[in-house]
Amino acid sequence: MATERGRRAAVLGSPIAHSLSPVLHRAAYGELGLVDWTYDLFDVDEAALPGFLEGLGPEWAGLSLTMPLKRAVIPLLDEISETAASVDAVNTVVFTEDGRRVGDNTDIPGMIAALREHGIEQVESAAILGAGATASSALAALARICTGEVVAYVRSQARAAEMRQWGERLDVEVRTADWADAEQALSAPLVIATTPAGATDALSAAVPERPATLFDVLYDPWPTALAARWSMYGGAVVSGLDLLVHQAVLQVEQMTGRSPAPLAAMRKAGEHALEGR
């Protein structure tokens, strides 16, 4: 996108007040000298999304999307990337100069970049805790870096079936296991926790003496009980803030046309905001 003055961007979702995206994107604008760019947040649900999009003017550069809009937006777009299509989820919309709405998913490459930053380029196997929308993005990331089996620990047969279907679609070897056996996940070379706050707390007592790498997608509150125990035992921990920053870096680059986006400044702004909560 061109970087003329007075451009706008925002994050949409419902609920949305907790979002750190404005903090991260505004920090990027400051570092990049985009003094007349603004980034806001709007509480928008699925019913209100079509009207919101129709009301946007030519000053809009892009949107970040969170739940429940990542799939609802797809029929409203002119084009989506292969990455977004692979998981039926769009978290980034860029408005082109000719008015087209183009959707992408920066969560998947953001996960890969966050792992790479911690020295994880490839793993022989992995475990996923949970089976929601974030778990499908985790599977898509693992499709690129995992050479062997992925075991998904889930709470229902329906979720198990969904994860196996995602595995077939993404060409990942997925085996499902019951959540009651989730302690077994902790010995994997890479454990990706995609569950809501508190869901993995009980597993912290089962962290092995020499854990490998934990990627916990939560960032508030932080650390989770699992991440804290993992770190105490010397394991590597990738946090939800790592993911949030890396996916936001890619969003900033797409929306502004400036690259590289200021990763360090964005991370510092995010850490400062979390400390203040």
Which residues participate in catalysis according to the annotation? 70
The tokens 């998913």 sit on which residue? Answer: 105
Give the Cα separation of 23 and 30 in Å (integer). Answer: 11
Q: Residue 72: name the closest of 55, 90, 84 by CA.
A: 90
190 vs 124: CA distance, rounded Å:
9
Place of tokens 């920053």: 245
Tokens found for residue 128: 């996923």
Burial of 155 (0-12, 13-18, 19+ CB in 10 A): middle
What span, in angstroms and rounded, lies between the C-alpha atoms of 54 and 264?
35
Instruction: Indicate the DSSP class of residue 9.
Output: E
Give CA–CA dist 258/76, Å, rounded.
Answer: 26
Sheet holding 60-65, edge to edge: 38-43, 8-13, 60-65, 92-95, 101-104, 79-80
Helix (H, G, I), strand (E, B) or coil at 150: strand
